[in-house]
Amino acid sequence: MSQAESSSNSLNEVAEKEGEFPIESIFHPNRLKHFKFLCILSALALDFMSLGAMIVLVQDVEKRFNISATKASWSLTSYVITFAGFIAFFGRVGDIVGNGMMMSISIGVFGICSLLCAVIPNFVGFAVFRAFQGMAGAGIVPCSYALVNSMFAGENLQRYFSILSSIGSGTIGVGFVIGGAFAETKIGYKALFYMVFGASILTCMLILLLIGYPEYVRVKSDYSARFKRVTKLDVIGSFTFISGSVLLVVALTDGGDSWKKPSAYVPLVISIILMAAFFAWNLGYQKVLSLLKPHISTGAYKYMESVSVLIPKELLYAHNFAPVLLVSFFAFAAFMVVMYTVVNYSISVEGDAVIVAAVKIMPLIVGLMLANTTIAFHQTILKPKNGLIVGTFVCTLGCAFLTALKEVNGNLYWKLLLLSAFLAGIGGAVYFSYMLSMAIGDAPMEYKALAGGVVQTASQFGNEVALSVIVSLLGNGKTNRKELRKRYQNVGYFAIACAAMAFISAITTLRDQLEPSDDEEQQNASVHSVKGCESDESTTHQQCQVTVVQVGFEEEEKMKSQPGRIA
C-alpha cells in the first residue's frame, strides 16, 4: 500500500472514531470504491455517448421534424453551447457545495431532460431541452474528475484517470455506432433518449446513495455556509464568462456556413471582447478593489472583498495549468477532425449507410482501449509530461494519413482511414490519460472540479473551432466526388496542423509534474493534526469532528481576508 493510501486510511479511521460511518458501512469512504468508480464512469459515459450519437442522428432529426439541415444542426449545437458555457461555472459550484451532491443532481436532470427530448412534439421545445441537457452535462464532467481524484492516490490515481479518459473519449465513438443503429429503428432518435433516461435515473440513484448522501452527512453542519458562498460567487465575472463562451460557440457554428453573415461575425467580435474583459476582471480584481475602496461604502467594500472570483489566480497560475489548456485546445481539435472525417467521408463520398459509417470508427475505439489498458497497468511507463508529448506526436502521425485522401484510389478506408483512426485513438488515449493527471492532479486541492471544468471548456472550444473550419472547407453546395475528395484532403491538412501545434506546444511549454510526495505530506499533516486534536482532553468531541470533516473546507476559509480570492 502506498504512503498516500495509508495516510488516507488513517484519516478515515480517526473520522470513524469521531462518529463517522463504521468501516463495515457501505457509506464509509473506503467501501465499494470500485463500484462507486463504475457509477461515476457510467454518468460520464452517458454524457459523452449521447453527444456522439447525436452527431450521426442529426439527419434523423431533420427527417422526423421535417426541417432544414441547418435548423436540425441545432439539436447538437444547443447542447454544445450550454455545455461549453457552464462547465467551468458548475465545476466551481461543485468544489463549494460538494462534488457528490452536484454529480447526483446533474445526472438526474440529464435523465429527465432526455425523457422530455423524447416526448416533445416540436423542434423548438426539443432544442430547448437539449440546451438544458447540455447544462446538466456541464455538471457531470468536472465533478467526475474531482471525485476520482479524491477517491484514489498515487499510482492508483493515474490508473483510474486512464480508465476514465478511455471510457470518456471512447464512448463518443460508441455513440456513433449506437446513433447509427437507432437511426434504422422506427422511432429513430427517440430510442436514444429513452435509453439514456432509464440509465441516467438508475445511475443518479446509485451516486446519490453511495456518494452524495455520505458526503452530505459529513459536511451537513457547513451546508448553509457553503450555499452562502455560492451566492457570493462573482456575478459579473461568471456572467461575462458564460456569455462569452456561449456567443463564441454560436459564432463558430454559424461561421461554418459563412463568415459574411452578421449572425457569425457579430457574436464572434462580442465574444472576444467579453472573454478579454473576463480575464482582465478576473486577474485584476484585487487591483480594482483597491481602486474602488476610497469611493464606495464600507459595506459595499466588505461585500466585494468576500466575493469569490470564478477562476482564481491560484488555479490560472497553477503548475502547468495554462500550458495544458493550450495543448488541449489543439489536441481535441485534431481528434475531432479525425472522427468527423472517418464517419462523414464514408457517408458523403463512398455512399455508405449511417450504421456502416459509424462502425468504421471502431479502429479509433480499439486504439483508445489498447493504449489506456496499457497505461492503466503500467502507469510509470511514461512521465506525465512525456505522455502528453508522445500522445500528440502519435496523433500527428494519424492525421498525416488524411493528407493523401485525394491521391489514393481503391480500398481507401483500409489504406488510410483505418490507420488514421487507430493512431489517433492511441495518441488521444495517451494524451487524455496524462492530461487529466497534470491538469487536475497539480491543481490546488480546493479547485479540483473547477480545473477539470476549465480544461474541458478549452477542449470544447477546440472541438467547435474544428467543426467550424471543417464545414467551411467542405462547403454547403453539392459537388462531384472528385472535388469532394479534394476538399476532404484540405480538411486533412487542417487536422495535421492542429496536431502539430499540440505537439509543438507540449514540447515548448510543459514542465515536469510536481512530485506526488507533496500531496502525501499534506495528507499526513492533516492526519497528525486530527490525532493531536483527539489526544487533547480540552478539545470537545464536536470540535474534533469538525476538524476531521472540514480539512479542505477550512483551508479555503483561511483565504477569506484576501480580496479576489475564494471567500
Helix axes 384-400, 481-509, angle to 10 degrees: 160
pTM above the 0.75 mark? no
What Å distances lie between residue 434 and 5, 317, 441, 444, 445, CA to CA?
20, 19, 10, 17, 18
CA pair distance 334, 321, nearest whole angstrom: 20
What Å distances lie between residue 235 and 232, 302, 313, 462, CA to CA?
8, 16, 17, 26
What Å distances lie between residue 121 and 125, 136, 193, 268, CA to CA?
8, 22, 14, 33
Q: What is the mean pLDDT of the chain?
A: 78
Q: What's phi and psi for 285, nearest 5 deg?
A: -60, -45
CA pair distance 510, 386, nearest whole angstrom: 9
Element (H, E) at 246: helix 235-255
| Domain formed by 18-231, architecture | Up-down Bundle (1.20)
What digits encode the pLDDT tens for the residues 217-234?
877 777 677 777 777 777
Averaged pLDDT for residues 512-534:
46
Task: Output the CA torsion sign for 82, 243, 92, 155.
Answer: positive
pLDDT interval class at 544 (50, 70, 90):
very low
87: pLDDT strictly greater than 60: yes
Lowest mean pLDDT of 84-93, 473-482, 506-515, name the range. Answer: 473-482
CA pair distance 125, 157, nearest whole angstrom: 41
DSSP state for residue 408 in the 8-state scheme: -
**CATH of the domain spanning 316-514:** 1.20.1250.20
Highest-scoring range by mean pLDDT, 71-80, 202-211, 400-409: 202-211
Lowest mean pLDDT of 64-73, 321-330, 471-480, name the range. Answer: 471-480
Matching residue, cell 463495515: 24
415: pLDDT strictly greater than 80: yes
pLDDT interval class at 561 (50, 70, 90):
very low
Q: Who's near 44: CB < 8 A, 6+ residues apart?
A: 140, 141, 144, 164, 167, 168, 171
pLDDT interval class at 478 (50, 70, 90):
low
193: pLDDT strictly greater than 90: yes
216: pLDDT strictly greater than 70: yes
Select the more confidently predicted residue: 561 or 160. 160
120: pLDDT strictly greater than 70: yes
Matching residue, cell 435523465: 111
What digits encode the pLDDT tens for the residues 11-40?
444 444 444 767 767 777 777 888 989 999
pLDDT interval class at 405 (50, 70, 90):
confident
pLDDT for 48 equals: 87
Q: Who's near 89: CB < 8 A, 6+ residues apart?
A: 138, 238, 241, 242, 310, 453
Select the more confidently predicted residue: 175 or 222. 175
406: pLDDT strictly greater than 90: no
